[in-house]
Amino acid sequence: MLVTWRYKKRRSIIQYFDPRAWLIFYACFLVCTLLFWDVRFLAFFLAIALLVTFNTGIQWREMKRAWLFIGGFVLFFSFLTFLTGRGGIEFYQTEHIIRQFSAGFSILGWTPKLTISAEKTAYAISMMVRVFSISSMTILIPYSLNPALYGVTFRGLGLPDKIAYGMDLTMRFIPTFGRDFQSTKDAQRARGYELEKLSGGLIAQVRKLVPLLVPVTIHAIASSEDIIDAMDLRAFGIGPRTWLDKLSYQTRDRLLIAGGVAMVVMCMALSLLGVGKFWVPGFLIP
Amino acid sequence: MPEVDPLIIEDLTFRYRNRSEPALKHVTLQVPKGELLLVAGASGCGKTTLARCINGLIPRSYKGDLDGMIQVLGQDVSSLPLSHISQMVGTVLQDPERQILGTRVLAEVAFGLENLGWERQRILATAEEALDTMGVLNLRDRETFSLSGGEKQKVALAGVLAMHPQILLLDEPLASLDPASARETLERVRALAEAGMTVLMVEHRVEDVIRYKPDRVMFMSEGEIRYLGPLQGLEKAVNYHEVKLPVKMILPLAAADPPPPPLVSAVEAKPGTAPLVTFQDVAFGYDPEQSVLKGISLTINSGDVIAVLGPNGAGKTTLVKHAIGLLKPKSGQVLIGGKDTQDLSVAEIASNLGYVFQSPSHMLFAPTVQDELEFGPKNLGHPPDEIERDVKRALEIVNLEGMEGDPPLALSFGQQKRVSIAAILAMRSRILVMDEPTAGQDYKNYMQFMHSIMAMPGFEAVLFITHDIDMAVIFANRVLLVAEGRLVADGPPHQVLADQQRLTDCRLVPTTLLQANLENFGRTGAFLRAEALAHAIAPG
């Protein structure tokens, strides 16, 4: 059986709006954030993301694992960007070096060096702010949207019945997969299997993951077949379906959508005018 | 003009694409309107395949060679789309978890009607009516994942009934239900048949269904019908060792046979030794606001064969997961051999305590049965010659010799369950814990492996969770009753199971075997299986 994300009705800025209106606004937010590299502009979107985050009514303990995972991921890749400067080359041609470090050893005549430049630093910060803003807004969705309304929400956004219901099932597949993974891990640990003691090279480690990966995969496939059978046995897909739940836009929803669309139009205009491109703060340049 | 029977099957044969032998052979059957037909038989006898042929999943979802004819309400189903058949034939699967799609109860029950494109108000009224018919209208706005097993089964049934099928197929609907939930489901089904619905109930728990007077019984074996007729003739047509019949039917038959060998228990009691497992005021909850276990204190000692009984959702599985350290108490302590589980890894506990999970699909992964069984002992560092010996013995116990080279994932559910039990037996732990070992197993198979497990030397204690009171009657020397996260009773079966009110409170229904044992306890001094009881109470 598919399980759902931990949804709760709460005093939340997201739940104040119709889920369709929020998803449209979310899409507008994504587009706008992706149009800019100037950290001053990105700070505006980060502020929106933080404002929403602190007004969702979700407790830290509820989201802790998701935040730690995503936060760790964002920090790791931002740091990697900072070390390598990868991806930023297309934005700047020259670099203003702040500090340069050389290792006290050489490998086959090559001495490892770390160059910290103003451009690399600014790029890594922009990247971090950008990804963090998008992640923050994304993490909140499963905690804030009522799982009972997934299907009708996607249908209301114009998707056909079958795809809308498919999206509903997909949204619920992720937490279900997590539950099945935990069950398999428990079953194998009860047979003396210790995930913590994986050793050897990459291939050896992947091979040692087989006791987890095979049951989880097979279970996912078997569950998918069960779902298809259960749907077929209740006449799914024979024609246009009625959705028992009904959503209706209120004035506030229309305002939110209008605000989102206006934001996209404005950001696109600014972007076309060349505003918001990569920017290096003056104080970083030596 | 006489009314045509809603279901007519003529000379039906089916072979799954990847099997050499047919799963059904020349099945011919007519089921009249309003009949409750019980379809019984051992695992792999073809009962589920028959249900899949009737509801159209064969050959649409399960491919193979199909011969013969199935007519539903006068229409040949081979020419009909599945969506059309599903409006005439409602199917409830063994495990409601595999059937429920909706996140809320009302949405689940309305799903089929939404697909038919009905008007919203009509859907709402019909869905509520179906919930009311099943006596679960109070669950209307609940989330489906929060329901107990019994509630899920009733909601799944309501979802099917809402579509007003003329034929209802129930594929082992009682498998995961506590006795009271099973009884309530059967009462509703009987009422549906009385109201004119044709019902085919595929079920292992023959004794439970018989109480609700099926109009006819069909017994299948190796894909063929061995018996089709009234209930009264069933005991003459089937072997009482293969099908669980009411004690009243078994006693005269068993009395005429030679007495069975005595039940051997090799579970060793070591007087004067410390408890193997100790629970000290254990409390636990998955969420801070919801307690699943409340103040549980008990010890498991050498020589104990413990049956844990209680309603769906009582906390039985949560309780035993604490014993293996998969869950740690929020307050209180669990000690294994005197050591706190907080300080032990699950792998360390596994060498002392083997735990057979409820669902085999979460653990099977190896390319062969042999590799699957070697996995645990290898992890525990057992020597190769011991592993070989223990694997062989485990396969004998679960009756899977000769299948060492078969891929576990290609076996039937019943066989997979036995592989999962053998995989733990091969680890040779001191304590064996099994979560519903008999679920989805036929009577003959589970009686056989339970006898073999009891006779297997080396276990100091065995604990099993079950909904089958007869398992406690036959095999246990101690019963734990768990309800709403509390330990309600703990003692020998003849004491714990004698209190009718307590059983009712824990949603347990006395079986005919329990009643016969309680009535004769003064003479026998012990709880006995039906075959032994027949000889113990025989005159002279």
Chain B residue nearest residue A228, CA to CA: B61
B162 plus B27 within the same structural domain: yes
Spans of chain B below 50 pLDDT? none
B178 plus B295 within the same structural domain: no
Closest residue to B379, CB basis, from A191, A223, A245: A191
B313 plus B217 within the same structural domain: no
Tell me the pLDDT tens digit for each residue of A221-246: 888 888 988 998 899 988 899 999 99
DSSP string, B449-467: HHHHHHH-TT-SEEEEE-S
Computed from CA positions of residues A225, A227, A228, A229, in that sequence, does the dihedral angle turn out positive or negative? Answer: positive
Q: B148 and B160 in contact (C-beta within 8 Å)?
A: no
pLDDT band at A199 (very low <50, low <70, confident <90, very high): low
A211 CB near a chain B CB, below 8 Å? yes
B300 plus B205 within the same structural domain: no
**B-contacting residues in A 164-183 (Cβ below 8 Å):** 169, 172, 180, 183
B226 plus B354 within the same structural domain: no
pLDDT of residue A283: 85
Tell me the pLDDT tens digit for each residue of B381-419: 999 999 999 999 999 988 888 999 999 988 877 788 889
B196 CB near a chain A CB, below 8 Å? no
pLDDT of residue A184: 93
| Domain closes at, from B458, B476, B496 | B496
B98 plus B169 within the same structural domain: yes
B525, part of any domain: no
Q: Which class for A53: exposed (0-12), middle (13-18), buried (19 or more C-beta within 10 A)?
A: middle
Computed from CA positions of residues B505, B506, B509, B511, in that sequence, does the dihedral angle turn out positive or negative? Answer: negative
B302 plus B208 within the same structural domain: no
For residue B183, how many C-alpha atoms fall within 13 Å in the half-sphere facing its CB? 13
B192 plus B54 within the same structural domain: yes
B262, part of any domain: no
B199 plus B348 within the same structural domain: no
- The CATH number of whichever domain residue B200 belongs to comes to 3.40.50.300
B294, part of any domain: yes
pLDDT of residue A48: 96
B225 plus B349 within the same structural domain: no
B509, part of any domain: no
Is the Cβ pair A233, B57 closer than 8 Å? yes
pLDDT of residue B121: 96
The residues, any chain, with a CB within 8 Å of residue A145's CB and separated by 6 or more, are A7, A14, A19, A22, A153
pLDDT of residue B37: 96
pLDDT of residue B116: 92
Total domains in the fold of chain B: 2
The residues that bridge with B169 in the sheet, in sequence order, are: B91, B200
B94 plus B224 within the same structural domain: yes
B513, part of any domain: no
B63 CB near a chain A CB, below 8 Å? no
B192 plus B284 within the same structural domain: no
ipTM at complex level: 0.82
Computed from CA positions of residues B48, B52, B53, B59, in that sequence, does the dihedral angle turn out positive or negative? Answer: negative
B539, part of any domain: no
Closest residue to B350, CB basis, from A1, A192, A218: A192
B520, part of any domain: no
Q: Residue A158 and residue B492: Cα distance in Å, rounded? A: 63
Tell me the pLDDT tens digit for each residue of A70-102: 889 889 988 888 887 776 677 777 888 888 888
B75, part of any domain: yes
Collect all residues of chain B within an 8 Å Cβ-Cβ radius of residue A191.
350, 363, 375-376, 379, 423-424, 427
The residues that bridge with B12 in the sheet, in sequence order, are: B27
Q: Which domain holds residue B134?
A: 7-238
